[in-house]
């Protein structure tokens, strides 16, 4: 055994004997060296995973403010790792699988533990079954997302502007809305009411695995006009400052706004789908009614 650790090969197939032969150094590696840029996105993913695991510990210690902050940090890092991977041209199947596993812990397990220890601990088995349902729904959603990754190329371009169901980071942040309400001053007997938390958690779990279309934020901010660069910087800094100064108010408004936008995203998707079907029928109809040129019997002279 020449090496203690096996070589890192993010694109190595599961069955090497079935893999197609590739040209040497096809992805720019020199010998057995891996560029550092390939590792950077996975480092962000691992940092997000550390934040999610820290949120679980903070929930067990009933330090819910720190647990919420850790989940928010995990969501921010999750939004960055994919963009950084595309920016550095360092996307890989290894990174995609690692990101999915981290998302399950950060946005499936951690919020469930927070909700259970905060409001459902006294219900014992019933409370545990509810958070278990939320975690399972999040696992099913992530599995469905991984399966459909390779099928997105066959879909119309406009469908990439929508998610199928509530994405994992958003589901984790909005399921904690009762905690935000308590943080802004809502009486504890109302915010952490067991029946309310039970129903609300199950509703969010259903939204994560549903086929309700929701707006995708991945297309926002890919290109910014030159005259809007400085205002974007200012707004981003102000948002971070407001989030750090008034975290519960900002998270409450964000969660309520996201829930309020879901019906509009559903109507927008239905309208665009109907328009696409109408255009497809019109195009097919024009092809059927298009007649070939009539043969007049006249032929060009040689």
How far apart CA 55 and CA 34 sit, in angstroms, is 32
pLDDT, residue 11, reads: 59
In a domain, 1, yes or no: no
pLDDT, residue 302, reads: 45
Determine the structural domain holding residue 211 and report its residue range: 34-146+158-219+226-274
Residue from 257, 48, 77, 68 nearest 176 by CA: 68
User: Which residues, including other chains, have CB under 8 Å from residue 276's CB and lie 6 or more apart?
Assistant: 156, 158
Query: Per the structure block, which two tokens stand in for 2?
Result: 């020449």
In a domain, 111, yes or no: yes
Residue from 78, 103, 110 nearest 175 by CA: 110
CA 248 centroid distance within chain: 22
In a domain, 177, yes or no: yes
pLDDT, residue 300, reads: 47
CA 260 centroid distance within chain: 19
Residue from 40, 50, 141, 54 nearest 100 by CA: 141
Contact present, 59 and 118 (Cβ < 8 Å): yes
pLDDT, residue 20, reads: 52
In a domain, 232, yes or no: yes
In a domain, 47, yes or no: yes
Query: Per the structure block, which two tokens stand in for 253?
Result: 């408004």
User: Which residues, including other chains, have CB under 8 Å from residue 146's CB and lie 6 or more apart?
Assistant: 96, 97, 100
pLDDT, residue 286, reads: 66
Per-residue pLDDT of the chain (302 residues), as tens digits, is: 556 656 656 655 545 555 554 444 444 445 567 788 888 889 999 999 999 999 999 999 999 999 999 999 999 999 888 888 888 888 888 888 899 999 999 999 999 999 999 988 888 899 999 999 999 999 999 998 888 766 655 677 777 788 888 999 999 999 999 999 999 988 767 777 889 999 999 999 999 999 999 988 665 556 677 877 888 889 889 989 999 999 999 999 999 999 999 999 999 888 888 888 887 777 776 666 655 555 555 554 44
pLDDT, residue 23, reads: 46
Burial label for 94, CB within 10 Å (0-12, 13-18, 19+), is: middle
| CATH code for position 94 | 1.20.120
SS3 labels along the chain: CCCCCCCCCCCCCCCHHHCCCCCCCCCCCECCECCHHHHHHHHHHHHHHHHHHHHHHHHHCCCHHHHHHHHHHHHHHHHHHHHHHHHCCCCCHHHHHHHHHHHHHHHHHHHHHHHHHHHHHHHCHHHHHHHHHHHHHHHHHHHHHHHHHHHHHHCCHHHHHEEECCCHHHHHHHCCHHHHHHHCCCCHHHHCCHHHHHHHHHHHHHHHHCCCEEECCCCCCCCCCHHHHHHHHHHHHHHHHHHHHCHHHHHHHHHHHHHHHHHHHHHHHHHHHHHHHHHHHHHHHHHHHCCCCCCCCCCCCC
Q: Name residue, tokens 């009411």.
A: 193
Contact present, 142 and 103 (Cβ < 8 Å): yes
pLDDT, residue 187, reads: 79
> How many structural domains comprise the chain?
1
pLDDT, residue 26, reads: 43
Query: Per the structure block, which two tokens stand in for 58?
Result: 């903070």
In a domain, 9, yes or no: no
In a domain, 152, yes or no: no
How far apart CA 136 and CA 112 sit, in angstroms, is 10
In a domain, 10, yes or no: no
How far apart CA 8 and CA 12 sit, in angstroms, is 9
Contact present, 45 and 85 (Cβ < 8 Å): no
């Amino acid at each position: 055994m020449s090496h203690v650790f096996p070589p890192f090969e993010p694109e190595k197939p599961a069955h090497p004997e079935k893999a197609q032969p590739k040209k040497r150094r096809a992805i720019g590696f020199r010998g057995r060296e891996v560029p550092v840029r390939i590792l950077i996105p996975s480092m962000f993913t691992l940092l997000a995973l550390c934040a999610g695991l820290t949120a679980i510990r903070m929930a067990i210690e009933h330090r819910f403010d720190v647990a919420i902050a850790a989940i928010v940090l995990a969501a921010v890092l999750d939004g960055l790792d994919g963009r950084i991977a595309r920016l550095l041209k360092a996307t890989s199947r290894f990174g995609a699988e690692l990101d999915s596993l981290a998302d399950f812990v950060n946005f499936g397990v951690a919020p469930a533990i927070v909700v259970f220890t905060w409001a459902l601990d006294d219900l014992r088995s019933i409370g545990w079954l509810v958070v278990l349902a939320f975690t399972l729904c999040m696992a099913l959603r992530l599995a469905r997302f991984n399966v459909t990754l390779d099928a997105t190329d066959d879909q119309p371009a406009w469908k990439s502007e929508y998610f199928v169901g509530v994405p994992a980071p958003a589901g984790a942040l909005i399921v904690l809305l009762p905690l935000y309400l308590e943080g802004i001053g809502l009486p504890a007997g109302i915010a952490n009411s067991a029946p309310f938390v039970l129903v609300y958690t199950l509703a969010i779990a259903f939204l994560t695995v549903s086929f309700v279309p929701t707006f995708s934020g991945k297309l926002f901010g890919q290109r910014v006009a030159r005259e809007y660069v400085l205002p974007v910087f200012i707004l981003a800094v102000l948002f971070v400052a407001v989030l750090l100064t008034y975290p519960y108010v900002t998270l409450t408004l964000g969660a309520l706004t996201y829930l309020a936008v879901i019906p509009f995203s559903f109507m927008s998707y239905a309208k665009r789908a109907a328009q696409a079907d109408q255009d497809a029928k019109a195009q097919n109809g024009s092809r059927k009614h298009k007649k070939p040129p009539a043969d007049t019997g006249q032929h060009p002279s040689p």
